[in-house]
Structure 1
Amino acid sequence: MWFTVLAIEAYAQSLSIGLQTGDIIFHQSKSAQSTSIQKATLSPYSHMGLVVQRNQQFWVLEAIQPVQYTPIKKWIERGEQYHYVVKRLKFGLSHTQKQALVTAAERYLAKPYDLYFEWDDRAIYCSEIVWKAYAYALGIELAPLQKLKQFRLADAEVQALMKKRYGQRIPLNETVISPQAIFQSKALVEVARQ
């Protein structure tokens, strides 16, 4: 029960620090693939989304199944131990830039989640939607794109997930962007942590 109280307190604290549309929120997901993503990318975080203020409330526009808006409190509750980190572009965003960013991200609403981490737009994953929204709307590349082969793929759990998804034809040259790459972006500054 104390976790529920903690989640409510975390949510209240987030609002009090002044979240803004365009902020990027990270956490460790409870999904089946979370540990594999963390191991492959050497990251404590496996999921992320774009914070958007709509009708005086904060939401996370996120790539899950399907891409959708999730109330921020519910998003925080889905993370391990209600821990999250919020980052923001260092130089801030104008109202017009925020609108452009949301419009770019919303073009993916209702698209399926991309289990194969492909760079095309038929389906989309969490870090991909945030990277593409910033790049396409504002011309800001939050982090360098990578190839799948650049991740730590030798771990047994990572190997098992890849074989389940790809069989023997692992697309090592697929262009990808990870939550960790965006988390480490020099263009971002941390504004909240719980």
Structure 2
Amino acid sequence: MTMKKTKYLFAVITFLMSFGCALFIANSMFGNILFGLRHDIILNKIQDGDMIFQTSQSKQCEAVRIATNSKFSHCGIIFIEKGKKYVLEAVQPVKYTPLETWITHGKDNHFVVTRLKNASVLLNAETLQKMKAYGETLNNKDYDLYFEWSDDKIYCSELIWKIYKNGAGIELCPLQKLKDFNLKDSRAQTILSERYGTKIPLEENVVAPSDLEQSKIVTTIIDTY
């Protein structure tokens, strides 16, 4: 091969490699920008008072998912303060978690957001303020491992139900009894045995994340599953 041909071939290879790298970088940047825009567009749909659901991966959350025959095992209510979105959630303890942080706690970052039908009418500024004020009375309370229907300790779906009931005068769904759930699965039985021994409060009022998500008076706004 002549020196001239060698130089020509080298120049072509260099050009192709440079072009390929540039194209890869451009595609990566475009992909990141596009994903970022998509992410922002999705989250911008969320409003004050919306409810958010996810599949958590703890042992207890798995038992909740099985007992309620649902993919959802954790939920929270979204409040906006000074332009920032937070999820008020009942973990240990009840607390406000930045929305984007909350999303990362779920399996594969998937989540569903629902909203009260006619929220633009029913959830005016005054009502939302009452809901937030009531939520503040529950903030920092311990998580309720026993799912008791009292305000001493709070679990996630109970938190949302009570904020709507006591802050807005709205019952999102009928309450159930513990005995109404699927308690035959061995994983659910293990949790029940750890919590209650042989004295399972089957008549206790309860509300599950799935009850709220399937409420007849809400509509789905976002579903990333």
Q: Stretches of 4+ moved more than 3 A in 1?
A: 7-11
Report if aligned partners of 2:116, 2:217 keep a CA contact under 8 Å in 1: yes
CA separation of 1:55 and 1:158: change in aligned 2, threshold 3 A: same
- The match for 2:55 is 28
Pairing 1:48–2:75 present = yes
Does structure 2 conserve the Cα–Cα contact (< 8 Å) formed by 1:22 and 1:51?
A: yes
Cross-structure match for 2:221: 191
User: In the alignment, which residue of structure 1 is the partner of 2:115?
Assistant: 88
Corresponding position of 1:69: 96
- Alignment pair present for 1:16 and 2:44: yes
Identity %: 43
Q: Larger Cα Rg: Structure 1 or Structure 2?
A: 2
What do the CA deviations read for 1:69-110 (whole angstroms, capped 9, x no partner)?
000011000000000000001011111111111111121000
1:161-186 per-residue CA deviation (whole Å, 9 max, x = no partner) reads 10011111111111101001111101
The residue that corresponds to 1:119 in the other structure is 149
Secondary structure in 2 aligned to 1:107? helix
Q: Tell me how many residue pairs correspond in the alignment.
A: 189
Q: Are 2:128 and 2:167, in contact at CA under 8 Å, matched by a contact in 1? A: no
For residues 44 and 134 of structure 2, what CA distance do their matches in structure 1 show?
27
Q: List runs of 5+ in structure 2 lacking aligned partners.
A: 1-31
Distance, in Å, in 1 between the alignment partners of 2:218 and 2:208 is: 15
Hey, what's the Cα distance between the residues in 2 that align with 1:102 and 1:8? 30
Mapped partners of 1:173, 1:80: distance in 2: 32
- CA RMSD, 1 decimal: 1.7
Compared CA separation, residues 124 and 8, structure 1 to 2 (3 A) = farther
| Structure 2: distance between partners of 1:14 and 1:117 | 33
Distance in 1, Cα, partners of 2:37 & 2:173: 32
TM-score (norm: length of structure 1):
0.93
Q: Which residue of structure 2 lines up, in the alignment, with residue 101 of structure 1? A: 131
Task: Decide which structure has greater helix share.
Answer: 2
Offset of residue 143 of structure 1: 0.6
The 2-side partners of 1:8 and 1:120 are apart by: 42
Residue 59 of structure 1 pairs with residue 89 of structure 2: no
Q: Which has the higher contact order (CA 8 A, sep 6+)?
A: 1
2:158 matched to which residue of 1?
128
Aligned residue in 1 for 2:15 = none
> Structure 2 CA distance, aligned partners of 1:152 and 1:9?
41
1:138-149 correspondence runs (5 A): 138-149=168-179
Provide the rounded CA distance (Å) in 2 between the counterparts of 1:184 and 1:114. Answer: 23
